[in-house]
A and B are shown apart, each in its own frame.
Chain A
Amino acid sequence: HRSPLNDFQRLRATELLAAPADPPRLLPEWGSAEQCAQRCAASLACRAFHHDRQSQQCHLLPWTQHSPQVQLQKNIHYDLYQKKDYLRDCIVADGSSYRGMRAMTEKGLRCQHWQATTPHDHSRFLPSPHNGLEENYCRNPDKDKRGPWCYTVDPNVRHQSCGIKKCEDAVCMTCNGEEYRGTVDHTESGTECQRWDLQHPHKHPYHPDKYPDKGLDDNYCRNPDSSERPWCYTTDPGREREYCRIRFCKKRPRPLNVTTSCFRGKGEGYRGRVNVTVSGIPCQRWDTQTPHQHHFVPEKYSCKDLQENYCRNPDGSEAPWCFTARSTVRIAFCFHIRRCPDELGAEECYHGHGESYRGHVSKTRKGITCQPWAAQTPHVPQISPITHPEAHLEENYCRNPDNDSHGPWCYTMDPRTPFDYCAIKPCCKPLPAPLQSYGDVVAFEQCGQRDERLQRKGR
């Protein structure tokens, strides 16, 4: 149930540009990204491919971004998929699939070209289209337990290991690994991870477009839901998700934005002692499971400071919150903790309702990327540069073309959220528009009527 795309790393809206002197491109093919990946995997010459999502066309490529005279370039029509083995600078298992470009041993000796027979004559490992013995790059053609190695240019040292790190050690994680962006793509039991941008074998809500800031790349282990450590959906239909084994960083990061009397941003750094909700309901202690069972056990979230029953934000919510001591109210936000004054106005702001805002913020208040105003997907817009030419609807910048009284907004890249307001604050509290009494000119249609007899019967 693994997808052929599992062997590829995706770069959105990117194209590989090669110097003209290189061999001609292979002829275009048709199909989904997965079909293209299958063809590329089957072709020895193919190391990457462009996929045009609209025309479902793909171009197989014999080079990657590491190849000489090749460069990456932005191109919204293509997604670039490159074979992971050619991109990684770490090894998986014994590294026999490593196709990186390290060409130096762990002791710093330059490697001898596999083609060459001096200073060390060997006949066992000669380059072929199949074995990846290129140039003088470190390789592991004989599945040596110590990983990739090479013959060296030092006549006294015939061959030496290259000391390439295992991927699971290459990038460490802090806290609960929410920021981990390494390339581990297997679970702790060794099962391969499912890609986040695929819905098979397991359907799931964590689509990369919906959570652009969670780093849900390819099928790498991530922690988008504040679990205790990075995990992934697996390619095993019988097992939906599983934790991954990732090394903890030795150095513990100093928490950012620590405040006690107010909160900044989402309040993840709040360490105050407020322990009641807006409505005065006491908070439940984090180290108890009654009245509400939960997984935020203080020992497993040591850097979230889940002390006593203080309001905290261990999961990236909008603001500090807590489980409440009342069984009928599971969670409540502690909105009554005030926002730190220095933060107000620290970012871009807008005047009035923001009709004349011309800044470049292009994220919603939830951090979801805005849809370009001229685009038709994922939402067909009712308001566009054509319908509102004067509203400066550029790119996907937040704007307020319909004079929404709640400020600049945008259509979003989340298929389930047509529009949302942006993370921009008013520069100053707008003077409230006068509330209207309307007198008796108010009229309503087809609403607000009930059978008064039923009302009386109720009595």
Chain B
Amino acid sequence: IVGGQPGNSPWTVSIRNRAGVHFCGGSLVKEQWVISTRQCFSSCDADLAGYEVQLGTLFKDPGPGDPDQQTIPIARIVCGPSESQLVMLKLARPATLNRRVALICLPPERYVVPAGTVCEIAGWGETRGTADGSVLNVARLPVLAHGECNAALRGRVKESELCTAPLRAGVGACEGDYGGPLACLTADCWVLEGVITPSRVCARTDQPALFIRVSLYVDWIYKVMRM
């Protein structure tokens, strides 16, 4: 996260490869389910033996003594509808919910978050020197109306994408944050409205940032968890 600050986001998870290295973020939507992005994985048939998610700690690489850390193997990957660029990861066992680990809400189907709503992104990715990269960083971004965004991006915004307004100070997601949440406060609850996907430049100041609009895929998400 560029332009963010250390913060708390108990539903944000770190996804780690066989070498235990963090490479992407994700969001805990059920005790045993994490949502991330397709671009973090080589294929829908990827063999994820040895891959894990880490929760409950603010540190990117916590020491062995961190009492709240939970590390859970990933049992399976399920790819979303082709255009969604979303994946769901089933954990080998349920996460334990506590002060440091919480579920994020899913939005109603096809819900549009009002423009101007202040949301936040979180992750352990690149900070480009703007913050301490060894802990979870959080940054706030305001939602940009779909029409405005479309105008700014010359009509290339899809219905499945959600925009946030660029900030002059250069705030945004970067490598290592992909798959992480864009969480917005609605009815006193934090709701997963967007998922971070790779972009050409980190924290652009001259263009809106794009996220996958999760509300278009909640029927798929519930179906996967139900099936």
Contacts and interface: CB of A to CB of B under 8 A. Distances in A.
Interface residues of B, number: 60
Interface in A404-432: 404-407, 416-419, 421, 432
Interface stretch (A24-32, A151-159, A175-183, A272-280): A272-280
B199 interface: yes
A251 interface: no
A88 interface: no
Contacts of A417: 78
Interface in B24-79: 29, 38-39, 42-45, 47, 58, 76, 78
Contact of B7 (A331, A418, A446, A455): A455
A317 B99 CA distance: 41
A328 B43 contact: no
A444 B42 contact: no
B47 A404 contact: no
B209 interface: no
Contact of A406 (B23, B81, B105): B81
Given A331-B42, A419-B223, A450-B8, A279 B189 contact: no
Given A279-B198, A435-B111, A459-B6, A451 B227 contact: no
A374 B158 CA distance: 38
Contact of B187 (A406, A434, A442): A442
A253 interface: no
A347 to B, nearest CB: 14
Interface string A257-296: 0000000000000000000011111000000000000000
A448 interface: yes
Given A279-B199, A328-B175, A458 B39 contact: no
A437 interface: yes
A448 B105 contact: yes
A440 interface: yes
B81 A450 contact: no
B39 A332 contact: yes
A300 interface: no
A126 to B, nearest CB: 56
Which of A405, A440, A450, A451 is packed against the most chain B CB atoms within 10 Å?
A450
Interface string A308-337: 000000000110010000101111110000
A436 B226 contact: no
Nearest to A329: B175
A128 B200 CA distance: 77
Contacts of B138: 455, 458
B130 interface: no
Contacts of A280: 199-201
Given A365-B82, A404-B219, A418-B227, A458 B5 contact: yes
A91 B215 CA distance: 61
Contacts of A330: 42
A73 interface: no
Interface residues of A, number: 52
- Chief secondary structure at chain B's binding surface: loop
B112 A436 contact: yes
B227 A419 contact: yes
A277 B198 contact: yes
A446 B103 contact: yes
Which of B58, B84, B100, B105 is packed against the most chain A CB atoms within 10 Å?
B105
Contacts of B146: 435
A449 interface: yes
B86 to A, nearest CB: 11
Interface in B191-205: 191, 197-201
B39 A278 contact: yes
Nearest to A403: B219
Contacts of B164: none
A205 interface: yes
Given A419-B223, A433-B110, A459-B5, A332 B159 contact: no
B103 A448 contact: yes
A287 B221 CA distance: 40
B104 A448 contact: yes
Contacts of B44: 318, 366
Interface of B: 5-11, 23, 29, 38-39, 42-45, 47, 58, 76, 78, 81-82, 84, 99-100, 102-112, 114, 138, 146, 159, 175-176, 183, 186-187, 189-191, 197-201, 215-217, 219-220, 223, 226-227
22 contacts: A278-B39, A278-B198, A279-B199, A281-B198, A317-B43, A332-B198, A333-B38, A406-B81, A416-B76, A433-B110, A436-B111, A442-B111, A444-B187, A448-B11, A448-B191, A449-B102, A450-B11, A451-B99, A454-B100, A455-B8, A458-B6, A459-B6
Interface of A: 205, 277-281, 317-318, 321, 326, 328-333, 365-366, 379, 382, 402, 404-407, 416-419, 421, 432-438, 440, 442-444, 446-451, 454-455, 457-459
